[in-house]
Amino acid sequence: MVGSKFYSESSALKATNQQPAKTLLGMKRAYAYVLIFFAALVLIAAGLAIGVWSAISPKVPAIDAVTDYRPKIPLRIYTQDNVLIGQFGVEHRDFVPIAKIPAMMKSAVLAIEDTRFYEHGGIDFIRAMGAARANLRGGFRQGASTITMQVARNFFLTNEKTLSRKLTEVALAYKIERSLTKDQILELYMNQIYLGQRSYGFSSAARSYFGKTLDQLSLAETAMLAGLPQNPARTNPVSNPKRAAARQHAILKRLLELGTITQAQYTAALAEPLRVKRDAGQKFDTPAQYVAELARQAVYEQFGEEAYTRGIVVTTTIRAAEQKAAYESVRRNVLAYDGRHGYRGPEARVELPSEPEQRDEAIADALQARRSSDGLLAGVVLAASPSQVRVTLLSGEDVVIKGAGLKFASPGLQPAAREALRITPGAVIRVSKDKAGDWAIVQVPQVEAAFVAIDADTGAYHALVGGFDYNLQKFNHVTQAWRQPGSSIKPFVYSAALEKGYSPSTRILDAPIELPGASEDNPWRPQNDDGVFDGEVTLRQALVKSKNVPTVRVLRAVSVDFAHQYLEHFGFDLARHPRNYTMALGTGAVTPLQLAGAYSVFANGGYRVKPYLIQRIVDGNGSVIAEVPPSQGPQEANRVITARNAFVVDSMLRDVARFGTAAGSAKQLGRTDLAGKTGTTNDAIDGWFAGYAGKVVAVSWMGYDEPRSLGGREFGSTLAMPIWIDYMRVALAKVPPQERTPPDDLVNDGRDWLYPEYADAVETRTIDIAVAPPAAPVDEFQQPLDDAPLEGPSPLEALPNVAPPTPPAQPPQPQPQPPALPPQQPPQAPPPDNSLW
C-alpha cells in the first residue's frame, strides 16, 4: 500500500511537473508561428515594396532640374537709380541665395511646414504617424509632406492624390536628399514655391504683397508670407484677409512655442496692422508703363521668348523722381483741361433689379466692364439729388459725394438736365478722393497728352509719359504720334535765317501779305494769331511774339528750299514737312521725341544727339550683355550747327520764356536760364511747349487722337506749358541757373548779336521794308543781350504802334505756290523705333 501510495503520488507529481513544460512548449511553438507569420508578412511587404519600387523606380525622373536649377526669372526693368518700373514673365520670381534669406523667414517656414527638416532624411515618420492618428480620428486633415517632398512634387509631379504619385514623391525625396545638402533643398523650396498673385518664391511674394524686399519685412509680415504655401488661394491676404490672418496667428503661436520669438515679439506682431497692396503684383511705385514697354520690346527683339525666363535685368536712363513728376504733371494738367470744358455725363447706365442679390450682381458686372484708371474709380449711382449723390464701388464700398464734390457734375443733377447728362440711379460715373479724403465726381478725359525729357548732352531719357493712362491706351504718343508742330518749328526757320546773314535786330514788315494759294482764285493770306499787325518788328521780337506773317516773310527771304533742307540738321524727317511757305507755320509732322532731339541742338551748343533709353542689360547670372559707355560729352563729329548760331537762337528762346508767349515759365520757376517755345496749330488742334534749362530738354503736347479743336481760348501756353513747368520744378530743383558765354566769332553792334562778316551787309538789315531805316531804330528799347534779366518795359511793350507800310512793288524772289494747309492726321505708328540705345 505504501508502495502504491508512493507510486500514485509520484505519478501525480510527475504529471504536475509535466504540465508547465507542455505549456511552455506550446507557447514556444505559438511564438514561432507568430514570428514565422510576421516574417512572412515582412517578406511579403518587402516583396511588394521591391515590386512596387521595381515598377516605380524606372519611372522616377532624373533630378537634373534640382541639381542644375535654372529658375524662370522674369524680365525686370529698372530706372537709373534702381527703382523697379516693369516686370514681364508668366512667373514673377526673384532668386535669393539661402545665405541671404533672413533667418526669421526660414524659421517661420520651417516652424509651420517642416519642424524636423534638418533631422530627417527626406521623410518625417514621426510627423507621418501623428498625421495618420489625427486623420483617423476624423478631425482636421493633416499632411505629412516634408519640404523635400514638396520640392519633389513642385518640380516633377502633379497634386493628384494617388498611391503611385505619393510613392514616386517619396522616391524622389530620397533621391534629392542624397544629391543635395539641406540648405540647397531649402533654397530651392523658398525660391520655387508658388505663393499666389503670380509670385513664385518668398522674395517675389514680399514685393507683390508688401512692396518690400525680404530683409525689410516685419515679423508679422514674415509670418503672413510663411502661411501661404499650404494654400495660396485660401490664405491669400488680398482675397481672403481673415483666413490669412488666422494662418498668420497660428504661425506666430508656433514660433512662440518653439522659443524662436519672445512673448513680447508675439504680442507686438499680433497687434501690428498689415498694409497689403490691394493691387499686388501689378502696380509699381514709379509709374512708367510706357517706358517699361519700350524696354521690353527692345529686349524681346533680341532674345525672343527667353527674355521672359532668363532673369534679364534692364537698367534704363530714366530718373525715378523725374518720371513720377512727369506722370503726375500729365495727369493733373489733362484733368484740369478736361474740367475747364465741362461734364459730359455718365459713362453708361445699368438697370438696378429690386432683389438685392441680383442688384449686386448687375452692379458688379457693370463695373467690371469699365477699365481702371489711376485714382478715377468707377461706381454705380444708388441715389442722386442736387445736394447729395450716393455711389457704390466695385469693392462694395458705398461713398457719399456732397458739397464741393458735386460742383463739376452739377449740370447733370438739375431737374431740367438733358437725358445724356443726367445723373440718376443706375448711372455709371467716376469718383475720386482728394488729399483731404473728400470724394468728388470726375470723368475720364477724352483728350490725350505726352511728355518726354532728355539730357541735352547725351540724349539719355530722363522721363517719358506716352499718354494719359497706359491702361486705357497703349499707343505711345511720344514715339508714335506724328502731329503738326505749329509755332514750335519757328526757331529752326530763324536759325536758318542767321546762316543767311540775318540777325535778331533785322527789321521785318509785319503787315498783311497775299501769296499764291492752291488756285488762282484762292490766294493764301497768312494771319497772326491775335489778328494784330505791328508794322515793323525785329526778328527777335517776331519770335518772342510768335508772329506768323513776319516768319513767312523770313522764310521767303532765306528761300523755302534752303530752310527745308536746313531742317535735316536737327533730325526732322524732310518728307513729312511741306516744301512751301506753310512750313513756317509748322504744318509738317513731328513726334514729341523728335522735337526734343531737335531742341537739344540749341541747348547743347550745336550738337546732334541720339535719344536712348537703355543704359545696361544684365543676364540672370549677373553678366553684362550690353552697356552704353559713359558719355564723353558732345563730340565735334556730331556738330550740326555752329556754336554762334546755337547761342543766338538760345538768346531769343530765353526772351520767349521771359517776355513772350512762354513768359509764365520764367515767372513760375524763378529762373533766368529757361528757353523755349510754345506751339499752337490752326484751330488749336495741337498744343505744344518745347524748351530746356540746366541741360534738360523737355517737350509736352496735348491734343485729341481724332484731331479736333481743343477750344478757342486754348493755346500751347495753357495746354502744354503747365505740364512742362510742373516737371521742370522737380527736375531743376537742385540745378543752379546756367548762363552761356558768347562765342568769339560773334559780335554785338549795340543793338543785338550778329555775325561779324555781315556787319556791313545792308541787304540783311531789313526784310520787305523798302524805306531806309529811321535814325532811331524801332527796337531802341532792346538792350544788348548779356543773359541777364531785362529791366523796365519789355521790348514787346515798347514796340510802337505804326501804320503798316506799303508792301514792296516786286517780291524779292520767285514764290512757289503753297498748297492749302494739310489736314491733321490721326496717330499712326512710325517704322520700328530704334532710338532705345
**Active site residue ranges:** 113, 487
Q: How far apart are CA 152 and CA 136, in angstroms?
A: 26
Q: How far apart are CA 538 and CA 796, in angstroms?
A: 10
In the 8-state DSSP scheme, what is residue 460?
B
Q: Which residues 6+ apart lie within 8 Å of 64 measured at CB?
A: none
Nearest Cα neighbor of 430 from 380, 364, 368 is 380
Instruction: Quickly list H helices, 585-671.
Output: 592-603, 643-659, 663-669
Q: Which amino acid is at 653?
A: L
Rg of the chain (C-alpha set): 40
Nearest Cα neighbor of 669 from 587, 612, 727, 589 is 727
Q: How far apart are CA 294 and CA 314, in angstroms?
A: 11
At 485, list the grid cell: 508742330
Q: Which residues 6+ apart lie within 8 Å of 331 measured at CB?
A: 374, 375, 468, 469
Q: Which amino acid is at 18?
A: Q
Which strand (E) or helix (H) includes residue 716?
Answer: helix 716-719
Q: How far apart are CA 119 and CA 125, in angstroms?
A: 11
Helices 103-113 and 147-156 meet at what angle, rounded to 10? 90
DSSP-derived 3-state class of residue 710: coil
Task: Yes or no: say if 483 and 719 are a contact pair by the CB < 8 Å rule.
Answer: no
Secondary structure of 515-572 in the HEC alphabet?
A: EEEEECCEEECCCCCCCCCCEEEEHHHHHHCCCHHHHHHHHHHHCHHHHHHHHHHHCC
Nearest Cα neighbor of 538 from 519, 520, 554 is 554
Q: How far apart are CA 461 and CA 456, in angstroms?
A: 10
Adjacent-strand bridge partners of 451: 465, 700
Task: Yes or no: say if 539 and 558 are a contact pair by the CB < 8 Å rule.
Answer: no
What count of other Cβ atoms lies within 10 Å of the Cβ of residue 585? 28
Strands 199-200 and 92-93: parallel
Nearest Cα neighbor of 574 from 588, 557, 586 is 588
> Given strand 766-767, what is the order of strands in its sheet?
535-538, 507-510, 766-767
Helices 548-558 and 490-499 meet at what angle, rounded to 10? 40
At 57, list the grid cell: 523606380
Nearest Cα neighbor of 689 from 595, 601, 613, 604 is 595
End-to-end, the C-alpha distance of the chain in Å comes to 130
Per the document, the length of the chain is 837
Q: How far apart are CA 561 and CA 134, in angstroms?
A: 92
Adjacent-strand bridge partners of 8: none
Secondary structure of 768-830 in the HEC alphabet?
A: CCCCCCCCCCCCCCCCCCCCCCCCCCCHHHHCCCCCCCCCCCCCCCCCCCCCCCCCCCCCCCC
At 337, list the grid cell: 483741361
At 239, list the grid cell: 482675397
Adjacent-strand bridge partners of 373: 376
At 397, list the grid cell: 464700398
At 661, list the grid cell: 508767349
Q: Which amino acid is at 80?
A: Q
Angle at 498 (CA atoms; ends 497, 499), nearest 5 degrees? 90
CA dihedral for 833, 835, 836, 837, sign (positive or negative): positive
